[in-house]
Every structure is written in C-alpha cells, then in structure tokens.
C-alpha cells in the first residue's frame, strides 16, 4: 500500500476519496435526515478511506489514540452536566435569577449573562444550549418580560463564553489534547479574551434589544412560584472536579480522570432515571461521529489538506499572525463548521505554539455566532430543504452576528496577545 | 365600536387603564397577546452546538407550554384590571403580522410605547413601530409611564 501511495496517480485518487468522504460526513451531519444517521456515514467514510489506502491502519490507530481520551473526557462532562440537571441545579438557578431580577428585564439579562457565562465555561456549551436556555426562557416569561434578549444571550454566550476552560467546548478539548498546555495556563491565558468577549456581547445585546428590556411599571418585585434551593452536593462535586482540573498538572494526573470521578460521583449522588437515559446523556452516537470524522480528517490531512492549511496559516505568535489564525479559523468554522475546522487546523498549528492554538480557538468558538447554524453551508442547506420550518429570524441573527463576531474575534485575539506577552 | 388592546409584558397596565377610562360603554373590547414563535423556536433549538445537533429537551413542560401558560396568566391579569366585559385572545407567530391581522376588523388599536421615553424615533419599539406604520384602523399610543413635563425634552438645535 505504501508503494501504491508513492505513485502520484494513486495519491491523487486517495486525495479525492478522502475529500469526498469528508464532504459526505459533513453533508449528512448538516442534513440531519433520520434515515441517514451521520454517525453511520462517518463509520462508512472511515472504513472507505482505510479500505482504499487513503489512510493506513497505523494512521487510524494514531487518530483514535489521540481522540479517544478526548471523547472520554467529553462523555464524562456530558454525564456531569446531566447529573446537575437531575439535581435541580438549573431550576434553582432560574429561581435565583427570578429573585435577583426584582421584576426588571435588564437586571435579569445581567444575571442570565452571569449564569450562561459560568455554565458554559464550567459545564460546556451544551449545558447552556440544552439545559439552561429553556430555564431562562421560562424565567423571563414568568417575570413577566419578553424573553427575546435573554434567549439570544444564551445562544450567543454558548459560543463566545466557551473560551475560558479546556472543558468549555469540544473544540477546546481537542486543542488542549493536541498542544500539551497545562489546564491552569490555558485558563489564565484565556481569561482576558473571555472577559472581552462577554463585554462585547453585553454592549451589543443590551443595545439591540433595548426595547425588549423596558421594565413594566407593574413588575412583580417578588418572584412567586417555587423556590428550589441550590443543590449543594452537586455544586460541591462540580467545584471539586474543577479543583482537580486546576491541580492536574501539578499532581501529574490527567484532567480526564477528575472529570470521570466527577461524573461517577454525581451519578451515585443523583442516580439517573434509567440506564438508557444515562447513556443518552453521554451522546454515544455523537462520539462515534467525531471518531469517524477524526479518521477521515486525518486521511484528508495526509493527502494535501494539511499542507494547504499550513501554507495559508502564518506561524509565530506576533499579533498579525494571531489575528490571521483567528480570522481564518472563524471563516473556516462558518464554511465547514467548527468541529472539522478544529480537527483540520489543530493538526497544523499545534506544532508551532500554544498561542496559535488559542487564537484558533477564538476563531472557531466565536465564529459560529456569525451564522445561526454555525456554518454557511448548513444555513443554505436548511433554507433550501426546510424553508417551511425555518422559524428563526435569519436576518436578525445575521445582524447580531455581524455586530458581535468580527469585533469579538479581533478584541479577544488582541487580549490573548497581551496575555501571552505578560504571562 | 371594536377596540383591540395589544397586551405586552412591558406596557399592558397602562393600555388596559386607558381602555377602561376612554372606551365607550358599548365598545367590544378584545385583549390580544402574541407570543413570538421566533423566540420560542430559538429557545427550543438555541443554536449550533455541534454541527447543529440537538439533544431531546430535558423533561418538564415544553417551551410552548410555558409560553401558553404565561400568556394566559398575563391576559387573565389584564382582564381583571380592565374590569369590563372583554374577549381575551392569545396568538402565536410573527408578532407584527399577528397584531396587524387581528387589527384588520377593529376600529381602534390601543398599544403601548415600549421604547425609550423622549427619544425619537426610539420612543416606539421595533414591533410597535411596524404596527403603527401599517395598521389600517385608528391608533391610541399609550405611555407606559407619564414621560414628565416639557422640561425633560432634549430639544434639537433648530427648535431651541
């Protein structure tokens, strides 16, 4: 097979096969047809690139060895977040926000910002998207306030507040595994970019939605309804898990073990409704999809994609280089979606410096806010196929994205550059 | 006379008060609330996440159930404050469109200024602005709170 691969003709065929396999994975993931599950397509695509020799068995083994711990890490975090839901953490957060808002929509928006920023950073963007957003909607509706700004804040912060920790976003986990930076150093370097992203989101959202944030003169000063207490045990487990992450490099124990311990602890403390619900919470089909996608991206990378990206990306950690990496990553995240973009770019930049990897993360994490579905291809696809059930106001989403994403990518990258110089 | 009162979260008490005080005794009053289907859709599918995947929603009442419940509660409170016979109607959809369609056979639309007081043109919010621009019937625009006297007007240079 190695002999065949040296033949330029075969190389070109393999290159084409790898790119077609990658496109097949992306299109099925984007189309989301029940009858063609994306995880099955990813397995078939991985099998095809292996069978045709576009990637060797060693390459598959290497890709899986690299991805395996990351996917285990993700599964543990998803189980931890779902345990927090079972413990009533998000209902309790909703009640706290309702009390703290004192009937004022703008105060509620500030509290939603705090809750979404912390939830995204600590429990990952999925916790904000799936678990926090419905609670925020209910809290705003019951205030009563028009829930638009609060729901948009969750949607935006799920992406832009996912800069802080390696656990905040799967893209971060992939980069974290690849660049070998310590957990605490990642957090310290990304703290300022994260804060800058939050500030820009606040300035834009609170202005754009100013008329939805007018208080009612008859606002209920005191929230009625149930007041569930914050679940102390679940919070303690999350805090201990975070503490474990912080000391992981000093203790010489990989952070994934602390995440696993946290997931086990919360599953014991708050047993799941059923075993299947525990499995569903860990999203096994998604993990399979990412593994398959990782193999296909590795094949495509070995056949020219990496060298194309390498020649497009500048090296070094000067400000212009970081801005270029962040900008190109943001564009890639919108063209091919942020997950494959991360897999492609991380293989290229991880060798250069952690600074470049972190700049890439600013681009792939904040970038998806530009187009509602995280990729232009997805947007176009859905507009064509599902025009009738596309209820989200695309124009409004694009306008908000245009107001926040370029500014955030720029300012957060400058903040990262400053942090890299100081720390 | 058929009067439509648009009930929104921020301005409903003032609109209901003006309806009670100003409408003739024989007026047929309808209180309308519109839930934004766009915001509900966004709350149900709040974003890209991973390749646009969405996990099944967590157990508990759905976004629409919560929305319906709150709309009913708001309309109930408004009807009680009105203290006059009135029909209450809860719609869902694109807000401006639903209000315009509901106002098609009304003689008067009562709605709140939900923008920033004393700022032109922002003293009327986006949705209310569109409705005011396009509605066919007469309109009564209500201040949610009295805007204060003339001394609070920020006069542009040519009017000073």
pLDDT at B51 over 70: no
Closest residue in chain B to residue A281, using alpha carbons only: B55
Report pLDDT digits (tens) over A297-308: 889 888 778 888
Nearest C-alpha neighbor of A123 from the set A99, A150, A93: A93
pLDDT band at A384; cut points 50, 70, 90: very low
Q: What is the pLDDT of residue A126?
A: 86
Question: Does B36 contact chain A (CB < 8 Å)?
Answer: yes
Question: How far apart, in Å, are the Cα atoms of A185 and each of A26, A249, B27?
Answer: 33, 10, 69
Average pLDDT, integer, range A372-392: 51
* N-to-C CA span, chain B: 42
Nearest C-alpha neighbor of A201 from the set A133, A155, A146, A145: A155
Residues of A in contact with B44 (CB under 8 A): 134
Of A289 and A31, which is predicted with more confidence? A289
For the range A233-236, what are the long-range contacts, defined as Cβ-Cβ under 8 Å and sequence gap of 24 or more? A233/A87, A233/A269, A233/A270, A234/A83, A234/A84, A234/A87, A234/A88, A234/A89, A234/A266, A234/A269, A234/A270, A235/A89
Q: What is the pLDDT of residue A99?
A: 93
Residue carrying structure tokens 């330029």: A8
B128, B112 in Cβ contact below 8 A? Answer: yes
Residues of A in contact with B125 (CB under 8 A): 211-212, 214
- The length of chain A is 423
Average pLDDT, integer, range B67-85: 95
Q: What is the pLDDT of residue A194?
A: 98
Q: What is the pLDDT of residue A264?
A: 97
| pLDDT > 90 fraction of chain A, expressed in percent and rounded | 53
Residues of B in contact with A129 (CB under 8 A): 46-47, 49, 54
Question: How far apart, in Å, are the Cα atoms of A55 and each of A51, A127, A348, A351?
Answer: 8, 35, 17, 21
Threshold 0.80, pTM exceeds: yes
pLDDT at A350 over 80: no
Average pLDDT, integer, range A72-92: 94
Question: Does A150 contact chain B (CB < 8 Å)?
Answer: no
Q: Lowest mean pLDDT of A25-39, B66-80, B84-98, B138-152, name the range.
A: A25-39
pLDDT band at A313; cut points 50, 70, 90: confident
A133, A126 in Cβ contact below 8 A? Answer: no
Pick among B42, B44, B97 to test the A interface (most A CBs inside 10 A): B42
List the strands of the sheet with B108-112, edge to edge. Answer: B87-93, B28-36, B2-6, B108-112, B138-142
**Cβ-nearest to B49 among A126, A138, A146:** A126
Cβ contact B48–A392 (<8 Å): no
As for the ipTM of the complex, it is 0.90
Q: Lowest mean pLDDT of A109-113, A255-259, B62-66, name the range.
A: B62-66
Backbone dihedral angles phi then psi of residue A179, each to the nearest 5 degrees: -100, -5
pLDDT band at B3; cut points 50, 70, 90: very high
Question: Does B126 contact chain A (CB < 8 Å)?
Answer: yes
Beta bridge partners of B109: B4, B139
Of B115 and A87, which is predicted with more confidence? A87
pLDDT at A191 over 90: yes
Report pLDDT digits (tens) over A93-105: 999 999 999 989 9
CA distance B144 to B12: 8
pLDDT at B112 over 70: yes
Question: Does A392 contact chain B (CB < 8 Å)?
Answer: yes
CA distance B80 to A143: 19
Residues of A in contact with B40 (CB under 8 A): 137, 391
CA distance A355 to A318: 9
* N-to-C CA span, chain A: 48
Average pLDDT, integer, range A253-282: 92
A349, A341 in Cβ contact below 8 A? Answer: no
- The length of chain B is 160
Q: Where are the alpha helices (DSSP H) in B8-92?
A: 12-22, 37-44, 63-82
pLDDT at A389 over 80: no
A299, A344 in Cβ contact below 8 A? Answer: no
pLDDT at A244 over 80: yes
Closest CA–CA distance from residue B25 to any residue of chain A (Å):
26
A40, A23 in Cβ contact below 8 A? Answer: no
Question: Does B43 contact chain A (CB < 8 Å)?
Answer: yes
Pick among B37, B41, B51 to test the A interface (most A CBs inside 10 A): B51
pLDDT at A370 over 90: no
- Helices then strands, counting H and E runs in chain A, come out as 21, 0
Q: What is the pLDDT of residue A26?
A: 80
pLDDT at A54 over 70: yes
Average pLDDT, integer, range A259-264: 97
Average pLDDT, integer, range A89-96: 94
pLDDT band at A273; cut points 50, 70, 90: confident
CA distance A125 to A119: 8
Closest residue in chain A to residue B50, using alpha carbons only: A339
CA distance A15 to A303: 5
Backbone dihedral angles phi then psi of residue A193, each to the nearest 5 degrees: -55, -40
What average pLDDT does the structure give for chain B?
88
Q: Where are the alpha helices (DSSP H) in A124-169?
A: 125-126, 133-142, 148-160
CA distance A143 to A108: 9
pLDDT at A239 over 60: yes
Residue A199 CB coordination number (10 Å): 13
pLDDT at A420 over 90: yes
| Plot region of A88 (φ>0 → left; ψ -120 to 50 → alpha; else → beta) | left
Dihedral in degrees, nearest 10, Cα atoms A161, A163, A166, A168: 20
């Amino acid at each position: 097979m190695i002999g065949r691969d040296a033949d330029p003709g075969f190389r070109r065929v393999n290159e084409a096969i790898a790119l077609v396999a990658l496109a097949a994975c992306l299109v099925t993931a984007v189309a989301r047809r029940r009858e063609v599950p994306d995880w099955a397509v990813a397995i078939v695509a991985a099998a095809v690139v292996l069978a045709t020799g576009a990637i060797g068995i060693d390459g598959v083994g290497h890709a899986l060895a690299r991805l395996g711990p990351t996917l285990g890490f993700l599964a543990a975090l998803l189980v931890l977040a779902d345990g927090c839901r079972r413990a009533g953490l998000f209902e309790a957060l909703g009640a706290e926000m309702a009390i703290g808002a004192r009937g004022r929509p703008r105060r509620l928006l500030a509290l939603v910002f705090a809750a979404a920023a912390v939830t995204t950073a600590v429990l990952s963007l999925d916790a904000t998207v799936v678990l926090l957003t419905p609670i925020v909607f209910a809290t705003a509706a019951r205030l009563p306030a028009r829930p638009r700004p609060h729901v948009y804040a969750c949607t935006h912060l799920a992406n832009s507040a996912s800069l802080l920790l390696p656990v905040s976003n799967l893209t971060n986990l992939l980069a974290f595994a690849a660049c070998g930076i310590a957990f605490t150093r990642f957090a310290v370097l990304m703290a300022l970019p994260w804060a800058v992203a939050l500030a820009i989101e606040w300035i834009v959202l609170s202005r754009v939605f100013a008329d939805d944030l007018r208080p009612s003169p008859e606002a209920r000063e005191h929230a009625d309804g149930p007041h569930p207490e914050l679940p102390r045990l679940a919070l303690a487990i999350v805090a201990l898990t975070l503490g474990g992450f912080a000391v992981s490099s000093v203790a010489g124990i990989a952070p994934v073990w602390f995440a696993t311990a946290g997931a086990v602890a919360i599953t014991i403390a708050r047993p799941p409704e059923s075993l299947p619900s525990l499995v569903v919470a860990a999203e096994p089909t998604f993990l399979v999809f990412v593994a398959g996608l990782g193999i296909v991206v590795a094949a495509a990378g070995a056949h020219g994609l990496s060298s194309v990206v390498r020649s497009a990306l500048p090296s070094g950690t000067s400000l212009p280089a970081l801005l270029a990496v962040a900008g190109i990553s943001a564009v890639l995240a919108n063209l091919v979606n942020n997950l494959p973009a991360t897999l492609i770019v991380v293989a290229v930049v991880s060798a250069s410096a952690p600074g470049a990897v972190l700049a890439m993360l600013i681009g792939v994490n904040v970038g998806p806010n530009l187009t509602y579905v995280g990729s232009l291809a997805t947007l176009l696809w859905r507009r064509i196929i599902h025009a009738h059930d596309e209820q989200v106001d695309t124009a409004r989403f694009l306008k908000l994205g245009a107001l926040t994403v370029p500014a955030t990518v720029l300012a957060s990258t400058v903040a990262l550059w400053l942090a890299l110089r100081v720390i | 006379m058929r009067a439509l009162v648009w009930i929104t979260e921020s301005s409903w008490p003032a609109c209901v008060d003006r309806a009670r005080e100003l409408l003739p005794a024989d007026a047929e009053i309808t209180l309308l609330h519109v839930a934004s289907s766009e915001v509900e859709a966004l709350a149900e599918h709040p974003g890209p996440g991973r390749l646009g995947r969405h996990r099944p929603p967590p157990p508990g009442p759905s976004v629409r159930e919560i929305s319906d419940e709150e709309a009913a509660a708001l309309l109930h409170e408004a009807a009680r404050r009105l203290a006059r016979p009135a029909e209450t109607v809860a719609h869902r959809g694109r807000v401006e469109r639903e209000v315009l369609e509901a106002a098609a056979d009304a003689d008067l639309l009562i709605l709140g200024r939900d923008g920033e007081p004393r700022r032109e043109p922002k003293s009327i919010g986006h949705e209310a602005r569109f409705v005011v621009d396009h509605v066919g019937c007469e309109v009564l625009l209500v201040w949610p709170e009295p805007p204060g006297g003339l001394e609070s007007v920020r006069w542009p240079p040519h009017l000073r």
